Amino acid sequence: MLRKAWQSGMIAMARSPRIKTFMQNSRATSFLSEKYVSGKSVQDGVRRAQALMAEQGVRSSLFYMGEYVDTLDRVEENVENKLNVARALSETALDIHVSVDPTQIGHHVDPALVEERALKIAAEIGRGAEISAGQVHCLMFDMEDASLNDPTIRIHNLVQDRGYPTALTLQAYLRRTEADLRAQILRGSKVRLVKGAFAANADIAFQSRAEIKDNSRKLISMMLSPQAKEAGFYPIIATHDTNLHEFAIARARENGWQPGDYEFEMLLGVREDVARALAERGERIRLYVPFGHDWWPHAVRRIGENPANAVLLARSLVS
Ligand SMILES: Cc1cc2nc3c(=O)[nH]c(=O)nc-3n(C[C@H](O)[C@H](O)[C@H](O)COP(=O)(O)OP(=O)(O)OC[C@H]3O[C@@H](n4cnc5c(N)ncnc54)[C@H](O)[C@@H]3O)c2cc1C
């Protein structure tokens, strides 16, 4: 109950333009952006990805921040930055995912052009993958609130059907995800499973943390089943929940999956000790590495994921 109220409060803070402007311009909050964000420019993001690989053998998903934008200027800025990341990939021999949210590339401004923009970014990523000799860069679709499930899956499937490297995020808090996942397993897709950073009514969503965790286990079992392996499916288990890590590793070993046939993904600045420990055990790890100017909504959502992070927020407000 307390956790839910805390998280809702932080989501409201993430969406308030006035709080965002204040926080992003306050020097006292800069340690928050340093904790959760790699820097402002594409070069900052790529440099962090290179350091993570060189120092820890950890892969990255690069994310130019700025979701739910409602002006054409911001859409164009987002698309240009996604393209800049894709271009930078051709100069690196890394395996990088480029994360995108449909609302970043115009879902709320001109939805008819979202597919075109996604295809353009995917084509550039595909070119980067060819140039850097068989690396497995791909366009990863993040999943936003429930009103965007169908459009996001449709765009992912279109990009995949055109032969570009792509992946899709699905959320365990939604009841529909079991059916969506079954369809993606048959397509031999890459799917990133998360619990979900949103809430929805009981008719479409599981409500309690226990139910969401049970559904996560069920979905992980599907992702690491012999049928999924046979279909060429690639599982990405994105969680900081160590019980789910161990559950996934046990299912993988039972069904003949080796590290690298699947991977774990976590967020920059969150439980990085857990990520390092998994990497040391030989598991394939990826970190979600955001960059850009619009860092407050991302940082405050991370604070909202754990009430113990209240101390971080308090520190930023009193300094
Ligand atoms: C790579 C990645 C991509 C994501 N993409 C999406 C997306 O596209 N759409 C979407 O809806 N959601 C996305 N999420 C967010 C996700 O849905 C969850 O809200 C978030 O990951 C927290 O859930 P958890 O699985 O880590 O489990 P939890 O049960 O929340 O946490 C497990 C453990 O980790 C700790 N922990 C979790 N978060 C934090 C934190 N910020 N600070 C300190 N400790 C923490 C908890 O306290 C607990 O001990 C993504 C998450 C990751 C890791």
In this predicted structure, the answer to whether residue 135 has a pLDDT above a threshold of 70 is no
Q: What average pLDDT does the chain have?
A: 90
> pTM of the full predicted structure?
0.93
Give the residue among 88, 197, 102, 90 at the shortest CA–CA distance from 140.
102
Q: Is 288 in the pocket of ligand 1 (CB under 6 A)?
A: yes
Give the residue among 224, 284, 220 at the shortest CA–CA distance from 256.
224
Return d(Cα 236, Cα 259) in angstroms, integer: 11
- Region 105-112: what's the mean pLDDT? 90
The size of the chain, in residues, is 319
Q: Ligand 1 center to residue 239 CA distance, Å?
A: 5
Pocket test residue of 153, 239, 264, 268 for ligand 1, highest count of atoms within 8 A of CB? 239
286 and 252 Cβ atoms separated by less than 8 Å: no
- Region 266-273: what's the mean pLDDT? 95
What's the pLDDT band for 307 if we cut at 50, 70, 90?
confident
Return d(Cα 306, Cα 302) in angstroms, integer: 8
Tell me which of 35-39, 69-73, 146-150, 298-302 is least confident. 298-302
pLDDT tens by residue, 225-250: 999 999 999 999 999 999 999 999 99
What integer pLDDT is reported at residue 67 of this predicted model?
79
Provide CB contacts within 8 A for 214, sequence distance 6+: none
Reduced to 3 states, what is the DSSP secondary structure of residue 184? helix
pLDDT tens by residue, 175-215: 999 999 999 999 999 999 999 998 899 999 999 999 999 99
Give the residue among 287, 259, 260 at the shortest CA–CA distance from 272.
287
In this predicted structure, the answer to whether residue 4 has a pLDDT above a threshold of 60 is yes
What integer pLDDT is reported at residue 132 of this predicted model?
54
Higher confidence at residue 290 or residue 89? 290
Phi first, then psi, for residue 56 (nearest 5°) are -130, -5
Residue with tokens 């700025």: 66
What integer pLDDT is reported at residue 8 of this predicted model?
75
292 and 99 Cβ atoms separated by less than 8 Å: no
What integer pLDDT is reported at residue 64 of this predicted model?
93
Provide CB contacts within 8 A for 94, sequence distance 6+: 49, 50, 53, 59, 60, 132, 135
What integer pLDDT is reported at residue 1 of this predicted model?
63
Kindly state the helix (H) or strand (E) to which residue 138 belongs, with its residue range: strand 138-141
What integer pLDDT is reported at residue 68 of this predicted model?
81
Q: Degrees (nearest 5) of the Cα angle 50, 237, 297?
A: 70
What integer pLDDT is reported at residue 112 of this predicted model?
87
What's the pLDDT band for 319 if we cut at 50, 70, 90?
low
For 38-294, CATH number?
3.20.20.220
Q: Is 197 in the pocket of ligand 1 (CB under 6 A)?
A: yes
Q: Ligand 1 center to residue 266 CA distance, Å?
A: 8
- Region 81-97: what's the mean pLDDT? 87
